[in-house]
Amino acid sequence: MLLGTVAFPVFVAVSAVLGVRLLGLASRTRRLPELAIGVNFVLAGGIGYSLLIAAESLRVMGSYAGLGSFAGVTAISIGACLIALFTQAVFRPDNDTAIAAVVALACWLVLGVAGSWSLHVVGATEGVGAWLGRWAPNVGMLLTYAWASAEPLRYSAMMRRRARHGFGNPLVENRMLLWGVGTAALAGVALLHLVAQLFGHYELPESLVGVVSSLVLVTAITEWLAFFPPGVYRRRFGAAAAS
């Protein structure tokens, strides 16, 4: 439990700060990737997870808990759509299959948001709405973050192969690796929630809180280093490239 009380606030704080900094960068570059990932960090990491924690873990929202859960799921689902858009724009900008994947994931996540309204606000326990509310958001996030992890990890491996022949930038390769690891950790969080649901636990069991907290903390650290590595971290790779 102590790990959870540290990991989730750190994740929320890192997401909010990264989001604001990336939105500032987007205001200068006027480019889609910076805008998409910046909004994701603020909306999903900063706001969405805060609402879900307040409504479902801390239970401090009282009679508004259902609306809080719905708003949190909506924010995280929009963030997942933006992660898919970021992945397509950065790694497969002219690939029709990737564009179709973004559209399909967005449609699925919209169904999840509609189901979340039925489940959390209306209070449905059976039917299509309740089923979508329980399963669609986590399935959508698992698919989105798995894709968002696979692309930078593939690119990182490619850059390592090029480095053997004296090409490439070690810092860029490492940042790709970090982003891949961070998004893989979030995919792991979604997977654990789905596994718990398969065993009838629609709220995360206490036995998995420590694992999820560790994954969330990994995401916070790797995302910070991937987007805004400190000078001492950068210099380490500069020295490696010069050697």
The answer on pLDDT for 91 being more than 60 is yes
The mean pLDDT of 4-33, rounded to a whole number, is: 93
Looking at this protein, which amino acid is placed at residue 47?
I
Tokens standing for residue 66? 């259902």
Ordered alpha helix ranges (H), 41-163: 49-52, 65-91, 96-116, 128-163
What are the pLDDT digits (tens) for 162-181? 877 777 788 889 999 999 99
Three-class DSSP labels, 111-127: HHHHHHHHHHHHCCCCC
Query: Is pLDDT at 209 greater than 90 in this prediction?
Result: no
Is the pLDDT at 133 greater than 90? The verdict is yes
Is the pLDDT score of 239 beyond 90?
Answer: no
pLDDT at 2: 56
pTM comes to: 0.91
pLDDT in tens, 23-82: 999 999 999 999 999 999 999 999 999 999 899 888 899 999 999 999 999 999 999 999
Provide mean pLDDT across the span 195-213: 86
Mean pLDDT of 100-117: 98
Lowest-pLDDT range, 2-16, 64-78, 139-153?
2-16
Contacts of 86 (CB under 8 A, 6+ apart): 33, 36, 37, 40, 148
| Alpha-carbon distances of 7 from 2, 4, 53, 210, 217, rounded to whole Å | 9, 5, 12, 10, 5
Please say if the pLDDT value at position 243 is more than 80.
no
Which pLDDT belongs to residue 222?
96
Architecture per CATH, 2-242:
Up-down Bundle (1.20)
With pLDDT > 70 as the criterion, what percentage of the chain qualifies?
Answer: 95
* Minimum mean pLDDT range among 5-9, 133-137, 188-192: 5-9
